[in-house]
């Protein structure tokens, strides 16, 4: 739920610049980040992480000129000659936003990891457990109260940095429309949602540890699967409407075109919503969220304001790609396997740490709810350690969703120009460092995506389409 969660759980079409809407408590919710990572990948967005590195300017230009001939022969629906879209240089402000964002990301993680260490070594965890015991009396209520008290403490310790990252900084860069009242309201609502989640997690985990001290990690890992599905199911109907208004598309003409595209892609009963993100941000995005009956494509109102109709339809085609290619399922399956491994590692590391420092921390067993900060710390470390393979899978899915959109629409130029708009509106840099991509990149860089839109045209050379069997070509 913390801010990272925002980044993750709306895995957008365009990546969301780091630290955009930091309202929640980082530390505690990192324990739940895994679930959110899954959900986020379940909500595969169009614009994931904003920028990209990788392609050198030289090779990029070379590839552009290679494809220039093909492009010059390409004529779009309106009879306009279409060509190559150049990757624009980022503005100095965007570069500054990117570079300071990287430093802040590191600072935030450092603080996130330091908080549970402080809570453990100052003996605060044990003292809070004593308070919880007086109120809760029985083991499970004690664990729940202890978890929520620790969440409140962490939340308070993170609030100044969250305020700077989520409010002050966004306004300083002209990225936010949010009033302080709305930001504070979101903070309050996030805290309520997190408290409910932490109550379930703490109650469930300590019940499992008490019942099966040796195999709790296995059962917790197995349970994470239905929990991920549950969160994916309820997020769009119970949680997201707390923060913004969702409604069916007001533009009926666009809605009809989207339905047409959906039937071409073999998607029945597609639901498309618009959300009033313009009250919060100037950035543009779109995403797929939900599961089963709650699955839907959500378009930010800012996206429809700033992009042309064909660019918006290209974004929708990208989202449909996630849908049709089963990216939600695949991501949940990948995260589930990694979670099983992570829970095992967490159990071993946490047991060893308790044996080593129990005298300083004031508890002697993992089944003591005072160990909650330790579990959270281990989760955070595992999150950092294990997220790169999940992110790599996500980048692959994003590339394939772009490919699907290109094959379905054949609107290379609209796709590329959409990414250029994304770069400009979201204050992104087109080429991000490989370290950034490794630890945080949910999407290929914008330069890579623009380049791909420019070059990928197998239909012009009579080559087979990779996903041609999944949709009906337009007339």
Active site residues: 319
- Which of 125/401 has CB closer to Zn ion? 401
Which 46-75 residues touch Zn ion, going by CB under 5 A? 46
Contact string 400-419 vs Zn ion (x = CB under 5 A)? -x------------------
- Which of 46/98 has CB closer to Zn ion? 46
Q: Least distance (Å) from Zn ion to the CB of residue 442?
A: 8
Q: What CA–CA distance (Å, rounded) separates 37 from 156?
A: 24
Residue with tokens 């010059």: 72
Contact string 184-223 vs Zn ion (x = CB under 5 A)? ----------------------------------------
- Which of 347/398 has CB closer to Zn ion? 398
**Span near Zn ion by CB under 5 A; candidates 14-22, 42-50, 81-89, 182-190:** 42-50
- Which of 169/322 has CB closer to Zn ion? 322
Confirm or reject binding of residue 44 to Zn ion (CB under 5 A).
Answer: yes
Residues 6+ apart with CB under 8 A from 37: 8, 9, 335, 383, 387, 390
Q: Least distance (Å) from Zn ion to the CB of residue 402?
A: 8
Helices (H) and strands (E) in the chain, counts: 17, 4
Q: Least distance (Å) from Zn ion to the CB of residue 14?
A: 9
The 286-289 sheet, strands edge to edge:
246-248, 272-275, 296-300, 286-289
Between the alpha carbon of residue 256 and those of residues 39, 181, 296, 407, the distances in Å are 28, 37, 16, 20
Q: Is 101 exposed, middle or buried (0-12, 13-18, 19+ CB in 10 A)?
A: buried
Q: Least distance (Å) from Zn ion to the CB of residue 74?
A: 24
Confirm or reject binding of residue 398 to Zn ion (CB under 5 A).
Answer: yes
Confirm or reject binding of residue 445 to Zn ion (CB under 5 A).
Answer: no
| CA terminus-to-terminus distance, the chain | 45
Helix (H) or strand (E) holding 9, with range, is helix 3-9
Between the alpha carbon of residue 269 and those of residues 259, 317, 326, 353, the distances in Å are 9, 15, 16, 52
Q: For 60-75, b where at least 16 C-beta lie within 10 A, e where not — what string?
A: beebbeebeeebeebe
Confirm or reject binding of residue 394 to Zn ion (CB under 5 A).
Answer: no
Confirm or reject binding of residue 320 to Zn ion (CB under 5 A).
Answer: no
- Which of 48/369 has CB closer to Zn ion? 48
**Span near Zn ion by CB under 5 A; candidates 333-341, 372-380, 399-407, 425-433:** 399-407
CB 208 within 8 A of CB 343: no
3-state SS class at 399: helix
Q: Least distance (Å) from Zn ion to the CB of residue 440?
A: 16
Q: Least distance (Å) from Zn ion to the CB of residue 459?
A: 22
**Nearest residue to the partner Zn ion, using Cβ:** 44
For helices 446-455 and 57-72, give the axis angle rounded to 10 degrees: 30
- Which of 16/44 has CB closer to Zn ion? 44
Residues 6+ apart with CB under 8 A from 197: 1, 29, 32
- List residues near Zn ion by CB under 5 A: 44-46, 398, 401
């Amino acid at each position: 739920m913390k801010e990272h969660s925002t980044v993750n759980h709306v895995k957008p079409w365009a990546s969301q610049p780091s630290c955009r809407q930091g309202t929640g408590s980082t530390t505690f919710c990192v324990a739940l980040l895994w679930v959110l990572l899954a959900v986020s990948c379940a909500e595969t967005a169009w614009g994931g992480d904003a920028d990209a590195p990788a392609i050198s300017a030289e090779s990029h230009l070379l590839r552009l000129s290679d494809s220039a001939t093909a492009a010059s022969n390409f004529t779009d629906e309106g009879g306009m000659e279409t060509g190559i879209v150049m990757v624009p240089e980022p503005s100095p402000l965007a570069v500054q936003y990117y570079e300071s964002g990287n430093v802040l990301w590191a600072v935030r993680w450092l603080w996130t990891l330091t908080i549970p260490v402080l809570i453990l070594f100052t003996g605060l965890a044990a003292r809070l457990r004593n308070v919880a015991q007086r109120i809760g009396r029985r083991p499970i209520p004690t664990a729940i109260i202890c978890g929520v008290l620790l969440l409140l403490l962490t939340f308070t310790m993170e609030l100044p940095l969250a305020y700077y990252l989520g409010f002050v900084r966004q306004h300083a860069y002209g990225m936010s429309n949010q009033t302080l009242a709305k930001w504070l309201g979101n903070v309050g609502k996030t805290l309520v949602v997190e408290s409910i989640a932490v109550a379930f997690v703490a109650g469930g985990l300590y019940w499992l540890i008490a019942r099966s001290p040796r195999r709790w990690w296995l059962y917790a890992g197995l349970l994470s699967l239905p929990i991920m599905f549950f969160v994916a199911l309820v997020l769009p109907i119970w949680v997201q409407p707390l923060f913004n208004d969702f409604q069916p598309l007001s533009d009926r003409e666009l809605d009809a075109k989207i339905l047409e595209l959906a039937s071409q892609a073999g998607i029945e009963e597609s639901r498309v919503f618009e959300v009033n993100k313009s009250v919060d941000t100037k950035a543009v995005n779109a995403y797929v969220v939900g599961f089963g009956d709650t699955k839907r494509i959500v378009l930010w109102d800012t996206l429809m304001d700033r992009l042309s109709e064909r660019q918006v339809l290209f974004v929708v085609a990208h989202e449909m790609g996630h849908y049709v290619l089963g990216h939600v399922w695949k991501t949940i399956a990948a995260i589930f396997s990694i979670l099983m491994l992570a829970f095992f590692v967490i159990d071993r590391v946490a047991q060893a740490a308790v044996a080593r420092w129990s005298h300083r921390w004031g508890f002697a067993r993992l089944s003591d709810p005072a160990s909650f900060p330790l579990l959270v710390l281990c989760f955070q470390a595992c999150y950092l350690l294990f997220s790169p393979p999940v992110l790599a899978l996500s980048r692959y899915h994003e590339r394939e969703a772009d490919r699907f959109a290109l094959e379905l629409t054949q609107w290379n130029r609209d796709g590329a120009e959409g990414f250029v708009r994304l770069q400009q509106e979201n204050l992104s840099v087109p080429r991000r460092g490989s370290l950034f991509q490794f630890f945080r990149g949910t999407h290929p860089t914008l330069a890579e995506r623009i380049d791909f839109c420019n070059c990928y045209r197998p239909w012009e050379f009579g080559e087979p389409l990779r996903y041609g069997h999944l949709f009906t070509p337009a007339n």
